[in-house]
Structure 1
Amino acid sequence: MIGPKAAGLPAVEHIVVTGISRAPATIRPAGQTTYSAEASSFAGQVGQSVADMVVTIPGVSFTQGNGPRDTVVSVRGSGDRQSYGLKNLQVLEDGFPMTQPDGTARADLIDPHAYDGVDVFEGPASTVYGNYAINGAINFRTRQGADIHGLELGSDFGSFGMVNTYATLGLGNHAYDLMVFGSNVRGNGFIANSHYDTSTENIRLRVNLAPSDRLIFKVVNNITHANLPVRLSLDQYRANPYQHGCADASAAAAGCASVNLLLNGRFGAREAVSPQAAGLGRFDRRTIIGLRWEHDFSSRTTWRNQFTYDQRHIDQPTSPTSFVGPYNSYNASSDVTNRASIGGTSLESFAGISFDYLDYGYQTYNILPLGGAARGAMSSQSYGHQWNLGARFQEDWHFAPDWHAVVGLGGTYSDIGATQALYAYSAAATTSNLVTANRFFFNLAPEGALIYTPARDWALYARVGTAYGTPSASNLFITPQGQYGSNTQLKSQSSVGVDLGADWRLGKIVHVQATGFYEFYNNELVSQSAGVNTVGAYTFNAPASQHRGVVLGLDYTPMPHILPGGKIALSYTYDNQVYTNYTEVLSNSQVSRGFSRKGDHIPGVIPNFLNARFLYDQPTGRFEGLGGYAEVTWRDAYWLDNANMLKAPGYALLNLEIHYDPPRHMGWVHRLHWYFEVQNVANQTYIAGATPISDILLANGQQAGAGNLGASTGSIYAGSPRAYFGGVRLRL
């Protein structure tokens, strides 16, 4: 569902602001385009992943990552070129950082049943959120204990062996608020070798120590155990999208994906084996513990101090090598918000400082073709750190009854230091090569916005925002060939974006929010796959690029008197991203050639995407509480390579859902909720996720066309065929 307005509209306006918890946990960037989704749009359905939470939010898209709950969430195309996680965004939960200092955030730990809503701040946001907020920020809000007021038990079940069992405990009054959530979800998956078993625990406790002091304690813990199929080429996808009958297939089997493993785990001959035979998967743990103290100096001034510890431990045999190691991070911040009155006008001031630190040490091992991801010799090891020291301020001046002006400035100093040891083996000897990186970055992000509210239900806004994102240590050690090595020359990316938007309501009948954006990027960080038998994606700087588009959200009640329970909800995004200055060098065994990509579309970016829901909930009478929706989701075709030779086809899906929430007058039955839904009603075969691929220089010195690129592996995951899900929830 669309959010209420652009953040920062004056409090005296009667526009209802959804998406702010009773005690705001995070700073909303004044004047920034903001959309929200409330639990009412996702709590009554299967809720397998974060995709179910954000599907109705304009400007937000998603693709399949590496694992069933590893959804790649993208704001205005921020993560469309990634194979996993949430990139080029700062992600928070109840105001606590979920993005580690190297810019990594993952969606595995998000079970939608625990949440009250999500707010998305779109466009450059580094003024307030610092490093990596290049396309914005997302704040997930867990449920309030006082609203739960007891114990809820639930279970979802459906196609491909999916079962999710969860429980939520909520208690609260004026002195405290406690929410405890736990779930376990498991299933066989619809692609071969995609069985998964994931458990999540989420706790939030707020204690009012005194009228002016509050403590908020936060814990998130997630364990992910998932088998992992191999990403396909477009040719393999067309021949066998779900990899049926491939468990024992060789590399020559039509449409079957495989990985090439060293027979002795060190050097020499390789054998092509299926993902099942190799034992590919992800076996990860993530633990986050946070504490925040909020103190009111007065009714106008609030001081917040926060500390978060975040450990991500990964064990990922996802390619011919297995990646193992811990990532420990620490985040501390302090900020002050003051609301003052100056000559009859109001001024809200915000200032803060932050420091985060990450240290890591990982090893990679060659995988033996013995099953169970058996480890051979070590192929590399790396140790390093990254820290970011930031400061920011923002002034929001309500200088006239209908006008706001916003100015702000943020800056971050970043330090990245890392070493990587590479090992090569032969019958005669073992050799090693050491690659080091010691990089320092300083970035500034000014912003300004003007907001005009000429009437109660109208708001117009204009904003100029800036943002930046440094490379992470992992970007610095993968070469264009997709192998470990030196890529230490990378620069920070930066952007300047202009937003022009309007927010309009016509009573309870229509709510429209529309935003046009134009963003200019320097040294944009773009990643692409070099194939399945490589260790990772290669990242490069595109000197100049532009992103421009339109974001539209609509809530419409067409017949409020005749059919008050009926509504249409629509979200649409047009996203046109092109290189304006980038020359790519391609090489073969004999020659290298440069090709200008000026005017080419940036690969991976979905140019048009639409979600339309037609909803009905019976408000009164015998069938009160009975409702459902029909949903259409459309994704346009998009380019897979820099030369714009090969496209991933688009798709349109139809989903149906029905639910029942018995009314209060039905006594104990009121405590029971149930639903049933059908996804992909037409049983279409479609691409759920596709990462960009590298272009190829042929022996004749020409670029490879679509026919050759269709065989490039390491890109595509198919989406789910028709699936049926149901669930029940009981409130005690």
Structure 2
Amino acid sequence: MSKLLFSAAVSAVLCASAASAQTSDDARRAELLRQRAAIDAELARLDAAPPKPQAAPPAIAPPGTDEIFVTGKALPLTTGVSGQTVTTVAAAAFRNTPATTIADIVRLSPGIAVTQGNGPRDVGVSVRGSNARNGFGARNLQVFEDDFPVTQPDGLARFDLTDPHAYGAVDVVRGPSSARYGNYALGGAVNFRTRSGREIQGVEAGFDAGGDGYANLYATIGHATSGHDIAVFGSYVRGDGATGHTGYETGTLNALARFELGSGDRVAVKLIYNEGDFRLSTRLSYNQYLTNPYQQGCQAAATAAPGCGTISVLVNGINGARISQTADEGNLARNDRRTIIGTRYEHDLGPNTTWRTQATFDSRVVNQPTSATPFKGTLDSYNITSDVTHHGRIAGMETTSFVGVFYNYLDNQSYSFNKTPAGRNGFGALTQTVFGDVRNVGVRAREELQLTGRLQAIAGIGAERSILDVRQTAYSYPVGANPVLAFIPADRHFTNVAPEAALFWQAVDAVRLHARVGTGYGIPQAGNLFVTPAGVAGNNASLKAPRNTGVDLGAKVALGSTFKAELTGYYEWFTNELVSQSAGVNLLAYTSNVPRSVHRGIELGVSWKPLPGLLPGAKLDASYSYNDQYYTDFQERLTAGTVSKLLDRNGKAIPGVIPNFLNVRAGYDQPAGPLQGLGGFAELGYRDRFFVDNSNLLAMPSATLVNLNLHYAPPNGSGPLSRLSFYASVQNLFDATYVGAASVISNSLAASGAENPASVLANTTGSVYAGQPRTVYAGVKARF
């Protein structure tokens, strides 16, 4: 990746700002007055109307507001979801923070747990434990940006795709949601919303710097009129992690343009481009982590300090002798490129009916010498949806009717190799190729019925046909013999149906209650299909599609502008959850189904201004998640030599799931006077201990982290400084050493047939990353 490419991209954004900044004061004043008049009129209408769970049909927005560009009268794709448990985190919560990863945003929502991903910028996001077993990216969760999909048809999304500085809000949709989002929505969905051109209306540019070589240069240019809204974001970021051989350089371009073509036609165009170069460390055993959490002194295996992780590399890259290498010697890395281009067209077929069609192209090109078996591949996908929304009446009751069709396709061309001692470019002989495609096609329907002014009923259903047509060629290289090729075809078909129903009741003006039953489903990934339960290469044809059915009961309370809270309890029944198991010593790990398990918990979010009269700028925000998840029908077979044993895991906690996750932020922002714009907060985050094995023998310890933040954004009219804002932040104030992430590890048997204790499991490598130690950040942002 060329640094010049991204430096030039950011420079282009900054230079282009000159023309936009020349808008005359008179034109700007007229535009603001028009917006204010529209807002005043809308507020007057809301004050005069009785509260409703959802207004249907939506009113046509007045000129000069964003709504004409977003969805018109079509049913929202993710933003403003009705009939779900949803939390929106607004930009005010993270605007004056480092926001080095999206963990700084989504952890403010109940139901979310975040862990370190596979690399210093990657983040694992788990909604109700949905992604707890995965060591990188996101599974069992649909991810969107500005309502465009960034989860590919094989179910994988990555959270290091773009810079959090681009976002204006994040919507977290929780609970099984396949009726609305299709495959992999067992945990729900996340929609990242970039800032609009109307919000920016000019240029914003900033620079952040911090410990471990962190630096981020970014800029956004935006412009909007009554007929268009355009925003372009660019950034170049680098950083060296605290752990040995970690770091990254990555550049991002992110743009959204929306146009009103006429009174009944709207178009949106989306572009995301990200290229990154990442240095990776190895995951450690728990004992290695205790000895040397940040992997210091691990440059060479021959002279490595205690606690250093290593990989085993073939000397000739084909067969025979092996040597050990540290991450530094092997130069473990990722060099990935992602390009997403999407367009959305809406046409009003009549005053109450809107047709919408959306198409997205998503290209993921990966080069990943991350382990002893480097991986390369090109995974291009196409996603097309088309739907109709109609607003009408049934027996005098307002209704919103929705029906849509969808199709997505992934072309998988990937290769795995043996690694040689020759560093990052040490690609040896092929170990396997995987070619083929994943196709999903289906239909969705939904009805939202306003039973009374305060009671709303929602019902929906989705049906999907999925086809995995993939072919693996496995290569082995016996010493002194010709290579052996094993061709394994896998042609699997799955049909899934997901219904849902919900009731929303505005009990009183300040209290809204809801009850929901939803379902979710997924399908196996291609890599799950090529190892049999015997631990050898073959078609794993017995795998079934995972499914879940969940019940949500919840309430939202709003007491004016001083107190808001949401409380949800959920209970979900899973069938055929996918897990990885060890077939025994010197055998391959394989994927199997857990017949039944239960996921249940409580989610709480609070936003409170405790002393609005005395301290109007004081605010307390908190989010809490409790997850109780366990197997109810699971027999796991362990093998050691000639000994094989079937172990009952019923009642065992599902590994990787953090039972309690808490985030509390207490802050103050001066609303008026000579110190207006000055503020800060103290933040406490707590994550509970959690198990990493199916037998619940080895647990990672709990952790409590404290962050401090001070920021200053001078008000308009306060002189030259009014165009600037500043912040300083200390993350992990007390420099706690904690487990940032721990992959699930396999249990094992001793020669006697007894299960090995935690002391043995603590030596299992490939699991633990240390979290970030105390780090200081500071930043400045200018507006033009």
Indicate which of 419, 424, 449 corresponds to 1:372: 424
* Structure 2 counterpart SS, 1:400: coil
Per-residue deviation, 1:573: 0.4
Asked if residue 203 in structure 1 is aligned to residue 255 in structure 2, the reply is yes
| 1:568-607 matches, cutoff 5 A | 568-607=620-659
Is 1:138 equivalent to 2:190 in the alignment? yes
1:487 is displaced (CA, Å) by: 3.4
Matching of residue 62 in structure 1 with residue 114 in structure 2: yes
Alignment equivalent of 2:662, drawn from 610, 632, 644? 610
Amino acid at match of 1:131: N
Structure 1 or 2, whichever has the larger Rg, is: 2
- 1:11 match: 55
Question: What is the letter of the counterpart of residue 629 of structure 1?
Answer: F
The aligned residue for residue 274 of structure 1 is 326
- The aligned runs of 1:120-519 (5 Å cut-off) are 120-250=172-302, 254-425=306-477, 426-478=479-531, 486-519=539-572
Distance in 2 separating the partners of 1:51 and 1:438 = 37
Q: 1:677 to 1:485 in 2, by over 3 A?
A: farther
Match for 2:579: what amino acid?
A: V
> What is the TM-score when the length of structure 1 is the normalising length?
0.95
Q: C-alpha deviations, 1:292-346, integer Å up to 9, x for none?
A: 1011223322111011000101111111011001001000000111111233321
Q: Which moved more, 1:296-305 or 1:607-616?
A: 296-305
Aligned to 1:26: 77
The structure 1 residue matched to 2:708, chosen from 645, 656, 671, is: 656
Q: Quick one: structure 1 residues 572 and 195, their matched pair in 2 at CA, closer, same or farther if it must change by over 3 Å?
A: same
8 A Cα contact 2:311 2:372, kept in partner = yes
Q: Deviations over 1:335-360 (max 9, x none)?
A: 11111123332111111110000011
Query: Secondary structure of 2:212's match?
Result: helix
Aligned residue identity for 1:89: L
Deviations 1:371-419 (A, max 9, x none): 2341111111110110000111111111122211111110110000111
Q: Distance in 1 between matches of 2:273 and 2:132?
A: 27
Q: CA deviation at 1:11?
A: 2.6
CA distance in 1 between counterparts of 2:397 and 2:247 reads 59
Q: Which residue number in structure 1 is paired with residue 615 of structure 2?
A: 563
The alpha-carbon distance between structure 1 residues 40 and 101, as it changes in their structure 2 partners (threshold 3 A), is same
Deviation, structure 1 residue 528:
6.7
- Closer/same/farther in 2, CA of residues 622 and 485 from structure 1, 3 Å limit: farther
Partner of 1:725, secondary structure, is: strand
Alignment of 1:636-655 (within 5 A): 636-655=688-707
RMSD (Å) for aligned C-alpha atoms: 2.1
2:158 to 77, 102, 106: 106
Q: 1:319 to 1:486 in 2, by over 3 A?
A: farther
Once the two structures are superposed, residues 417-465 of structure 1 have per-residue CA deviations (whole angstroms, 9 ceiling, x without a partner) of 1111111112222111112211000000011111111211111110000
Look up the equivalent residue of 2:524 and give its one-letter code.
P
- C-alpha change, 1:529 and 1:720, in structure 2 (3 Å) is farther
Does structure 1 conserve the Cα–Cα contact (< 8 Å) formed by 2:69 and 2:268? no
Cα deviation for residue 252 of structure 1 reads: 7.9
Instruction: Note the alpha carbon deviations across 1:615-669, whole angstroms, 9 max, x for none.
Output: 1100001110001110000000000000001001110000000100001121331
Q: Match of 1:26, as an amino acid?
A: L
| Post-superposition CA distance 1:76-128 (Å, at most 9, x none) | 11111110111101111111110000001001112111111010110000001
Q: Which AA in structure 2 matches 1:663?
A: P
| Rounded Cα–Cα distance in structure 2 between residues aligned with 1:487 and 1:423 | 18
Paired position in structure 2 for 1:3: none
Q: Which amino acid aligns with 1:153?
A: A
User: Could you report, residue by residue, the CA deviation over 1:214-268 in whole angstroms, capped at 9, with x for unpaired residues?
Assistant: 1100000111100110011101100001000011134985201000000111111
Q: Distance in 2 between matches of 1:108 and 1:483?
A: 34
* Higher normalized helix content (fraction of residues): 2
Question: How big is the shift at 1:478?
Answer: 5.0
Alpha carbons of 1:534 and 1:572: their partners in 2 closer, same or farther (altered >3 Å)? farther
| Contact kept? 1:457, 1:504, Cα under 8 Å | yes
Aligned to 1:146, the other structure's residue is in SS state: helix
**1:65-86 alpha-carbon deviations (Å, 9 max, x no partner):** 1122211111111111110111
Task: State the secondary structure of the residue aligned to 1:670.
Answer: helix
Alpha-carbon distance in structure 2 between the residues aligned to 1:45 and 1:386:
40
1:538 CA displacement: 4.7
Answer yes or no: is the 8 Å Cα contact 2:265–2:346 preserved in 1: yes
Give 1:370 deviation, angstroms.
2.2
The superposition leaves residues 461-499 of structure 1 with CA deviations (integer Å, 9 ceiling, x where unpaired) of 100001100111122235679986543432100010000
Partner of 1:4: none
Q: Is the 1:124–1:135 contact (alpha carbons within 8 Å) kept by the matching residues of 2? A: yes
Q: Distance in 2 between matches of 1:588 and 1:385?
A: 37
How far apart in 2 are the matches of 1:510 and 1:261?
A: 58
Q: 1: CA distance between counterparts of 2:628 and 2:622?
A: 20
SS at match of 1:665: coil
For 1:504, give the aligned amino acid: V
- Contact (CA 8 Å) 2:54, 2:82: kept in 1 or not? no
- The CA deviation string for residues 33-52 of structure 1, in whole angstroms up to 9 with x for no partner, is 00110111111111111101
Corresponding residue for residue 634 of structure 1: 686
- Is 1:42–1:112's contact at 8 Å kept on the other side of the alignment? no
Q: Where do 5+ consecutive residues of structure 2 fail to align?
A: 1-51, 59-65
Aligned to 1:670: 722
Partner of residue 5, structure 1: none
- 1:529 and 1:715 in contact (8 A); partners too: no
TM-score by length of 2: 0.89
SS at match of 1:297: strand
CA 1:123/1:37 → structure 2, altered by over 3 Å: closer, same or farther?
Answer: same
Query: Any conservation in 2 of the 1:43–1:112 contact (CA below 8 Å)?
Result: no
Give, as a single letter, the amino acid of the residue that structure 1 aligns with 2:552: D
In structure 2, the CA distance between the partners of 1:67 and 1:21, relative to structure 1 (3 Å rule), is farther
More moved, 629-638 vs 337-346? 337-346
| Displacement of 1:166 | 0.6
Contact 1:460/1:503 (<8 A) preserved: yes
Equivalent position amino acid for 1:11 in 2: A
Asked if the contact 2:56–2:398 (Cα under 8 Å) also holds between the matched residues in 1, the reply is no
- Contact kept, 8 Å, 1:319 with 1:534, in 2: the verdict is no
User: What amino acid maps onto 2:70 in structure 1?
Assistant: A
Give the count of matched residue pairs.
720
Q: Distance in 2 between matches of 1:514 and 1:99?
A: 28
Q: Which residue of 1 aligns with 2:16?
A: none
Whole-angstrom distance in 1 between the partners of 2:423 and 2:238:
22
Instruction: Give, in whole Å, the separation in 1 of the partners of 2:675 and 2:682.
Output: 19
1:718 Cα deviation after fit: 0.4
